[in-house]
């Protein structure tokens, strides 16, 4: 059987930020909200989660390895999101129920209703934490007119969401393709698609209006930008198990697909050196 890749160690600066935040609040590290840790580290919450590999557990383990007992009891919401993410990653959306999450998160179903309001809201919270949506919205919001830089940052965010564990985003995409009319799928699509159009879709429309890219329907531009990379990364884990099939590094894959998208839609794009391998 193929060996599972071990998660990258938590950087020391994040451990130090968690310890500082705990001292400032006179609480255990385990009781410090991730938002407070992110603020102390000078990064966004979504960036912190990405650097932690998607969850709180890695940070607590790194703090313990540094000789400090993280203590505390993480909030029900955080425990439930992590437990639900593992259930979706391992068994798909159908495995997500309040009862199963409560058992895995060591809490009551009632506490889940108090934290989320219901299963649909819990699913949306899990998806938001483990999808690239928040990071891509931040990239687009910070767009300074440099089309190429923005596109490449979007590709990096998409690649991170499709490759880190737990594999929530790939599981959701697979469910959308297999059961597009499923109630859980519709909950996500009806909430997420309008956000994509308000953020990425508007940015693409503005780029077209400014004469920097082809004036095509935003949905088609969005799909043209994301589909090749998403398909590659969804198929990659299976393909990597086949001997003799070489797979380039993910950074090279992002550069290749970003260049292909820019060549296809960018207008008056200046010459630039080829991306390094």
User: pLDDT tens, 64-92?
Assistant: 888 888 876 677 888 899 999 999 999 99
The predicted model scores a pTM of 0.73
Domain assignments of the chain as residue spans, ordered by start: 29-118, 131-265
- Residues linked to residue 213 through DSSP beta bridges, in sequence order: 266
Distance CA 130, CA 123 (A): 11
- pLDDT(273) > 80: no
- pLDDT(62) > 70: yes
Question: pLDDT (tens digit, 9 = 90+) per residue, 203-220?
Answer: 999 999 999 999 999 999
Distance CA 174, CA 93 (A): 10
Distance CA 96, CA 184 (A): 10
Count Cβ atoms below 10 Å from residue 198 Cβ, excluding itself.
12
Assign a CATH topology to domain 29-118. Arc Repressor Mutant, subunit A (1.10.10)
Assign a CATH topology to domain 131-265. Tetracycline Repressor; domain 2 (1.10.357)
Instruction: Please give the pLDDT value at position 29.
Output: 84
- For 200, which DSSP code? I
Spatial CA neighbour of 80 closest among 114, 48, 112, 36: 112
Distance CA 189, CA 250 (A): 27
The 8 Å CB, 24+ separation contacts for 233-241 are 233/158, 233/159, 233/162, 233/163, 233/170, 234/162, 234/170, 234/173, 234/174, 241/2
Distance CA 224, CA 45 (A): 29
Q: Do domains 29-118 and 131-265 have the same CATH topology?
A: no
pLDDT band at 270 (very low <50, low <70, confident <90, very high): low
pLDDT band at 275 (very low <50, low <70, confident <90, very high): very low
How far the first Cα of the chain sits from its last, in Å, is 30
């Amino acid at each position: 059987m193929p060996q599972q890749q071990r998660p990258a160690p938590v950087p020391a600066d994040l451990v130090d930020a968690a310890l500082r935040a705990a001292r400032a609040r006179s609480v255990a590290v385990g009781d410090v909200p991730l938002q407070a840790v992110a603020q102390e580290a000078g990064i966004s919450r979504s960036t912190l989660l990405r650097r932690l590999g998607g969850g709180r557990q890695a940070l607590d383990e790194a703090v313990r390895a540094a000789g400090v007992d993280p203590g505390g009891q993480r909030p029900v919401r955080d425990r439930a999101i992590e437990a639900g993410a593992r259930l979706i990653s391992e068994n798909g959306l159908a495995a997500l129920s309040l009862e199963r999450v409560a058992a895995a998160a060591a809490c009551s179903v009632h506490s889940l209703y108090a934290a989320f309001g219901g299963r649909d809201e819990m699913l949306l919270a899990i998806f938001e934490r483990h999808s690239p949506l928040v990071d891509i919205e931040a990239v687009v919001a910070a767009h300074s007119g440099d089309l190429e830089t923005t596109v490449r940052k979007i590709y990096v965010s998409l690649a991170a969401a499709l490759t880190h564990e737990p594999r929530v985003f790939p599981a959701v995409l697979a469910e959308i393709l297999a059961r597009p009319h499923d109630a859980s799928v519709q909950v996500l699509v009806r909430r997420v698609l309008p956000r994509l159009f308000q953020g990425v879709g508007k940015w693409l429309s503005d780029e077209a209006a400014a004469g920097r890219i082809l004036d095509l329907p935003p949905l088609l531009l969005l799909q043209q930008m994301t589909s090749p990379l998403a398909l590659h990364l969804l198929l990659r884990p299976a393909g990597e198990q086949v001997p003799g099939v070489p797979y380039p590094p993910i950074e090279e894959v992002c550069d290749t697909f970003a260049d292909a998208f820019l060549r296809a839609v960018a207008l008056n794009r200046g010459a630039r050196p080829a991306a390094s391998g």
